[in-house]
Amino acid sequence: MAMMRLRREDPRVVGTFRLHRRLGAGGMGVVYLGSDKRGQRVALKVIRPDLAEDQEFRSRFAREVSAARRIRGGCTARLVAADLDADRPWFATQYVPGPSLHDKVNEGGPLSPAQVAAIGAALSEGLLAVHDAGVVHRDLKPSNILLSPKGPRIIDFGIAWATGASTLTHVGTAVGSPGFLAPEQVRGAAVTPATDIFALGATLAYACTADSPFGQGSSEVMLYRVVHEEAQLAGVPDALAPLLASCLAKDPADRPSTLSLSLRLKEIAAREAHGPSGGPLENGAGAGAAWQHAERRPTDRPTGQRAEEYARQRTERRTAGNSSPRPHPSRPAASHDAGSRPSGPASAAGKNPRRTGGRTVRRVPAARPSGPGGKRAPVRTTSGGRRPGPDRRLLRQRIIVFVVVTLLVALGIAAAQGCQGPTHGLGVERPAPVAPAWGADGPYGVGEQNP
């Protein structure tokens, strides 16, 4: 869900919640991302000022919040808190991370039949909990469905309606979104759970085709089509088209019940995900499992030349993963020092070969003169007969020769200096030094006498 910075006119604190970002704005007010003192994040909607001054709206809003508190179910955003007596009434629901169904289809294109069926099955379970609480959502549409990692969630019960409550909407005024409204909502008739079934059918058709089943146009044109024209389901897959057509029936009595729709969508999701033989999604599996499985299932399998290219690349990747990388021809094979790893009997006999760069490397004793300690250092040879790397024993010999030569040169220099050194102590008398004559002004001064 896209987030925007708070504007100057936006509040910073509402109730016990601190507001951080804007999540969006609708017909009733602005939705913010907030958090409480424990860090729990919520989606908090603040009612518009003009609606807050309408006492009739406040009465309806209070009844809707009371009804929303009764909703229990994993496919809906739970109501956390609300203040009906504030200057601008507000309510906070559980924050659901994830894109809306509208954004996912708008960015990635139509979904696969398995995904659409799995989403529909989960939403049907959510509507079943809503309807059992005596509430009709009345504004089910792609932007009010969030695709969380745990499954779809129904949000925004802002215009939800308690079953049996008298309508406060003026005659001829439709509450909801054109293209996803039921015909009875357009006519101003009483809403029932079948109203949400119609909206769910239009929403799933959008997920299949990336367009409303009643096309595009102005609000008046869309409302006319909803009442007088049949839904266009030409792009809907055959597995879902009959069921969605029944959901979009003009007469509410001709639409399937919420429970029946949930069961049939689960069957379709299992069949599309596993084929006719079914699989782990059948036999009473939940809609959440069907949604997660459909998300993991590939949505577009390549055919023709694309399939051949895909198979060739997959074979190459598998072959490359099973074989070790070969060394570059200009580089010697990796070797270790002979004394870094002792070789056992099996290694000396060649029964425990090791592979380096795709070639077999054996540890064998070298047939050459022994070193300074009288020990023979084993060398590593490859199947190609080449010795990998420089000979370390030869390097040590060169170092020893260099040290010996250096010492001999140093001794020769010391002996030469000793022959030209001082003679005292050898019986040779040295002449006594002559004291200089000092003048009146000291050494090297005026009147100085040279010796």
For strand 90-94 and strand 79-83, is the pairing parallel, antiparallel, or unpaired? antiparallel
Q: What are phi and psi of 161, to 5 degrees?
A: -130, 130
Q: Determine the Cα–Cα distance for residues 421 and 418; give it in Å rounded to an integer.
A: 5
Q: Is 333 exposed, middle or buried (0-12, 13-18, 19+ CB in 10 A)?
A: buried
Identify whether the C-beta of residue 3 lies closer than 8 Å to the C-beta of residue 33.
yes
Give alpha helix (H) positions in 20-108: 49-52, 55-68, 101-108
Give alpha helix (H) positions in 252-390: 258-274, 287-296, 305-322, 345-348
- Residue 406: left if φ>0, alpha if ψ -120 to 50, beta else—which one? alpha
- Whether 254 is a known active-site residue: answer no
Identify whether the C-beta of residue 174 lies closer than 8 Å to the C-beta of residue 242.
no
Residue with tokens 């949930």: 262
Distances (CA, A) of 405 to 92, 243, 394, 400, 409: 90, 98, 17, 9, 6
For strand 151-154 and strand 17-25, is the pairing parallel, antiparallel, or unpaired? unpaired
Q: Determine the Cα–Cα distance for residues 65 and 82; give it in Å rounded to an integer.
A: 8
Q: Is 194 exposed, middle or buried (0-12, 13-18, 19+ CB in 10 A)?
A: buried
Among residues 173, 168, 181, 139, the alpha carbon closest in space to that of 156 is found at: 139
Q: Determine the Cα–Cα distance for residues 445 and 254; give it in Å rounded to an integer.
A: 136
87, 139, 156, 251: the catalytic one is 139
Q: Known catalytic residues?
A: 139
